[in-house]
Amino acid sequence: MKIISAITEMQRTADEARLLGKSIAVVPTMGYLHDGHLALVRIAKQNADVVIATLFVNPTQFGPTEDFNKYPRDVERDIKLAESAGTDILFVPSREEMYPTDYLTYIVIEKITSVLEGKFRPTHFRGAATVVAKLFNITKPHIAVFGQKDAQQAIVIRQLVKDLNFDIKIIVTPTMREQDGLAMSSRNMYLSSTERKESTVLYQSLQLAKRLIDNGERSCSKLISEMTKLITSKSSASVDYISIASASTLQEFSNLETGDNTLISLAVRIGSTRLIDNILLTI
Ligand code: AMP
C-alpha cells in the first residue's frame, strides 16, 4: 500500500492509473478505522481496480463546540487496517495541505441540509460536501463508496454529484453493527462501560419502530413517542431528534402509507457522546 500526503502527488498517481485504463474507487474516512470502514474498502475493491482510502479529520465539518480536537486519531493503526482490507493507496493530507491559510471556497447544498443532522449541526454538511468535492478532485475516482450509517450524508453527496455533474458513481453500503446491534462508529470509544451498555438503545428503538409498523402502526407521532419512551428509560440517554421521513427527500411523514420508502433516523446523546443511527423501510 502506498501512502501519499501531497495533493499533487495524489493527482499525478490517479492520472497514471487512469492512463493505464484502471478504474479508481475512493473511500473517504476520518480515520480511527473500524470494520464499518473496512467493509467500504472491500466493496470498493470489488468494484474498481485501484482503491484509494482517504484519512482526514475534516475541521470544516465540526461545529465550534463539537469534538474536533478530541476526535480519536491513530494513523499507525489505520495504516495497518487499511492495508489489511486491500487499500492500494492511503491518502493522508495535513490540515494545511487541504485548507491553506488563504482558503475561501465552500459548497452549500440547500434544503436537504437544514433538516435532521443539519438542524443540530448547521455547518456540518457545508464542510462535508466541501471536503468530499475536494477529495473527488484530488483522487479522480470513477466510484466513491459511502456508508448508510450516515444516511443524510449519502443523500447530500448524491445531490452534490448530480448538481455539480461529477462523473462518479456513488455506492452506499449497509451499516455494520456490533453483535449487540450498536452501529460501529469511531465515536463509540468515548463511551464508558455503562454508557456502552445503554447505547444499544438506539438500534433497539429502531427495531421497536419496525415491529410496531409491521403490526400496523402508521402514526409517526405514536412511533416517535414509543421510541422516545424506550430511549429515555436509559439514564445516560437524551434524544436530539427522531425522524420518520421520505428516504429520498427527507421530508417528514405524519402518517405512513403503503409503498413509502422510509428513513427512520435518530441522534441520541449517551452521556456527552452524540451517536446517530437509522434504518430504511418500505412500508
Ligand atoms: P467517518 O470516518 O465516520 O467519516 O466515516 C467514513 C465512511 O464510513 C462514511 O461513508 C460512513 O458512512 C462510513 N461508515 C461509518 N460507520 C459505518 C458503519 N458502522 N457501517 C458502514 N459504514 C460506516
Question: 57, 186 in Cβ contact below 8 A?
Answer: no
pLDDT category at 137 given cuts 50, 70, 90 is very high
Is 34 one of the annotated active-site residues of the chain? no
Provide the terminal-to-terminal Cα distance of the chain, rounded to the nearest Å. Answer: 44
Ligand 1 center from residue 278 Cα (angstroms): 13
Question: 30, 4 in Cβ contact below 8 A?
Answer: no
**What does the pLDDT look like over 213-254, one tens digit per residue?**
999 999 999 999 999 999 999 999 999 999 999 999 999 999
Do domains 2-173 and 186-282 share one topology? The answer is no
Ligand 1 near 155 CB (within 6 A): no
Ligand 1 center from residue 97 Cα (angstroms): 23
The full set of domain ranges for the chain reads: 2-173, 186-282
pLDDT at 202: 98
Grid cell listed for 146: 459511502
Which fold would CATH assign to domain 186-282? Pantoate--beta-alanine Ligase; Chain: A,domain 2 (3.30.1300)
Task: Indicate the CATH number for domain 2-173.
Answer: 3.40.50.620
**What does the pLDDT look like over 67-126, one tens digit per residue?**
999 999 999 999 999 999 999 999 999 999 999 999 999 999 999 999 999 999 999 999
Grid cell listed for 17: 492509473
Above pLDDT 70, what percent of the chain?
100
3 CB neighbour count, 10 Å cutoff: 14
The reply to whether the predicted model has a pTM over 0.95 is: yes
228 CB neighbour count, 10 Å cutoff: 16
pLDDT category at 24 given cuts 50, 70, 90 is very high
On average, the pLDDT of the chain sits at 98
Adjacency order of strands within the sheet including 24-29: 2-4, 89-91, 50-55, 24-29, 143-147, 169-173
Ligand 1 center from residue 16 Cα (angstroms): 28
